[in-house]
Chain A
Amino acid sequence: GMVRIKLRKAKSIREKMKEAGVLDDYLKKYKHDPAKKYRFSEDY
């Protein structure tokens, strides 16, 4: 009834986009806010 799941830590999407040279253009195009996913205003 208690299970341990090993988590892996990899490079984030941000890091990999930066390495690929596409992050700056992307962030210029889309405004990033870490709270954007928390959609309090939407009626779930």
Chain B
Amino acid sequence: VVDEPITNHLDSSYFGEISIGTPPQNFLVLFDTGSSNLWVPSTYCRALPSSPSRAVNHAKFQPNESSTFTYNGQSFTLSYGRKLTWRPLPLQIQSITVTNQEFGLSENEPTQPFYYADFDGILGMGYPSLAAGGTPTALQGMLQQNQLTQPIFSFYFSRQPTYSYGGELILGGVDTQLFQGDIVWAPVTQELYWQVMLDEFAIGQSATGWCSQGCQAIVPADGAPAVPGQLRSGRGRPADQLWLNCNEVQNMPTITFVINGAQLPLYPSAYVLNNNGYCTLGIEATYLPSQNGQPLWILGDVFLKEYYTVFDTGNNRIGFATS
């Protein structure tokens, strides 16, 4: 097992509470549309030597306190560490109960950055084909056990998020009070991640043509947005280190994503982050292409704050509406 740093979650900051086991044990988990496994730390978790306190800094599942625990003898490996798979236990998310949900327990702390995470584990909401070890996803469990009215979930991110209220995940439908206008739907182009085709990208009034040969956009609910790095040639440093003059923000252009023929603009007030008078660009660069070689875009939290986003597993499509 080669542990890879959990750099892919450096910018994750929205999470919610679930319970596992009988009696229920509570955990804060990242609802991650970019992975498909459910895992939490356990009392078997060993801290890495590089951890600041040599102690695991999160809520840990205690098998001995669950009346139904049994190790099923399997393990799976995620990019940031090995997980032991446990026999199905009840998973509770508010009033939703999945009676038999397989999940993973960390047997080691998944690398140094995780120590600093405010969430304990991850509940993957990607497609089942992405699940390491072939374990059923939590969403599959909810659907198979008829826990949801519709095979849909949707995210609302508040524009003024706080620790007590950062937004909502709605399981089983959409909340029409959280968006306005129509929902623009786009078909999922690959049933692995939540990925759609990006037709065009415009800066100000000008179409760039950067997607004339096709672009793919992933819609994660777990991190910062990113644009293909080649569009930022010459900068030579991550976008998040670009300091901007806050007084100039109003003069910056609107950027517009065209998805399935619909224009989805992002105003500078959305993509420039103002932290107590210090402004930075809230968009990172990525240098990795999509699986078909087309430029990969990531529509992260900056985008989701502006657009209520619906993930429709029944029709394999993603919907966007003005938040």
Residues on A facing B (Cβ under 8 Å): 1-17, 20, 22, 26, 30, 32-41, 44
Q: Does B296 contact A (CB under 8 A)?
A: yes
Chain B residue numbers with a CB within 8 Å of A10 are 13, 15, 118-119, 163
Chain A residue numbers with a CB within 8 Å of B130 are 44
Chain B residue numbers with a CB within 8 Å of A38 are 34, 193, 218, 288, 290, 296
Q: Shortest beta-carbon distance, B237 to chain A, in Å?
A: 11
Looking at the complex, which one of A2, A9, A26, A33 makes contact with B161 (CB distance below 8 Å)?
A9
Give the complex CA separation of A30 and B163 in angstroms: 29
Residues on B facing A (Cβ under 8 Å): 5-17, 28, 31, 34-35, 52, 79, 93-96, 112-114, 116-119, 129-132, 147-150, 155, 157-158, 161-173, 175, 192-193, 218, 223-224, 226, 238, 240, 284, 286-291, 296, 298, 300
**CB < 8 Å A-B pair total:** 155
Contact A3 B172 (CB under 8 A): yes
Chain B residue numbers with a CB within 8 Å of A4 are 94, 168-170, 175
Q: Of all chain A residues, which has the CB nearest B193?
A: A38
Chain A residue numbers with a CB within 8 Å of B96 are 3
Q: Of all chain B residues, which has the CB nearest A14?
A: B10
Chain A residue numbers with a CB within 8 Å of B172 are 1-3
CB pairs A–B below 8 angstroms (30 shown): A1-B147, A1-B172, A2-B148, A2-B149, A3-B95, A3-B170, A3-B171, A6-B16, A6-B168, A7-B157, A8-B164, A8-B165, A8-B166, A9-B158, A9-B166, A11-B118, A12-B12, A13-B9, A16-B116, A17-B116, A26-B5, A33-B287, A34-B224, A34-B286, A35-B218, A37-B34, A38-B193, A39-B79, A44-B131, A44-B192
Known: A3-B96, A6-B168. A13 touches B117 (CB 8 A): yes
Secondary structure at chain A's binding surface: helix, strand, loop or mixed? loop
